[in-house]
Amino acid sequence: MLLIKHGAWQGNISRWGLKVGDEVNPGDVLAAIETDKATVDFEMQEEGYIAKLCYPEGAKDVPLGAVIAVLVENKEDIAAFADYDPSAATAAPVKQDTPAAEATSSQPAAQTQAAASTSDASSASDGSRVFVSPYAKKLAEEKGLDLT
């Protein structure tokens, strides 16, 4: 699911740069999002296929956090989202004390750990060094994860 991630509380979809079925690569412009201050291109960070555009071109006052498009990894999965209704899946803030928040928070921490940078080093139990970024180290400590 792709969400509007702007500083504005709402935005307008000025134009779509891609259509359903299009293959997407990092850097491709999905849409031009217009706010009260500027029109910003929403660039893709992932690759896949556009399965659903949830708002028509020219849609006004799309709320912050609204699902604007669905991206799938396999072209065969596009048809499964033909009748997708984004109003049933609007993004809402999740409280950090809920089990769902813990499950979703620990996954990015593990991914951050796996792709850690060399800005900080810790020692593993066998004496070898484990390289992690300060942020990954902080997340691991908060979640009680062993960096090794």
Q: Do residue 48 and residue 12 come from a single domain?
A: yes
Q: Do residue 111 and residue 84 come from a single domain?
A: no
pTM attached to this predicted model: 0.53
Q: Tell me: the pLDDT tens digits for 7-55?
A: 447 889 999 999 999 999 999 999 999 988 889 998 999 999 999 999 9
Considering the domain boundaries, does residue 26 fall inside one?
Answer: yes
112 band by pLDDT with thresholds 50, 70 and 90 = very low
Q: Supply the pLDDT for residue 16.
A: 95
Query: Average pLDDT for residues 55-82, to the nearest whole number?
Result: 89
Name residue 120's beta-bridge partners.
132
Q: Do residue 130 and residue 107 come from a single domain?
A: yes
Q: Between 98 and 40, where is the model more confident?
A: 40
Q: Do residue 103 and residue 58 come from a single domain?
A: no
Q: Do residue 21 and residue 75 come from a single domain?
A: yes
Q: Do residue 120 and residue 63 come from a single domain?
A: no
| Encoded tokens for 115 | 């792709």
| CB crowding 109-138: b at 16 or more within 10 Å, else e | beebbeebeeebeeeeeeeeebebbeebbe
Q: Do residue 118 and residue 47 come from a single domain?
A: no
Query: Which residue segment(s) compose the domain that 106 sits in?
Result: 99-143
Q: Give the whole-angstrom CA distance, residue 62 versus residue 115.
A: 34
Please tell me the total count of domains within the chain: 2
Q: Supply the pLDDT for residue 83.
A: 87
Considering the domain boundaries, does residue 17 fall inside one?
Answer: yes
Q: What is the mean pLDDT of the chain?
A: 74
Q: Do residue 55 and residue 104 come from a single domain?
A: no
Q: Between 145 and 29, where is the model more confident?
A: 29
Q: Do residue 121 and residue 79 come from a single domain?
A: no
CB 55 within 8 A of CB 68: yes
Q: Do residue 7 and residue 74 come from a single domain?
A: yes
Q: Do residue 8 and residue 65 come from a single domain?
A: yes
CB 69 within 8 A of CB 42: no
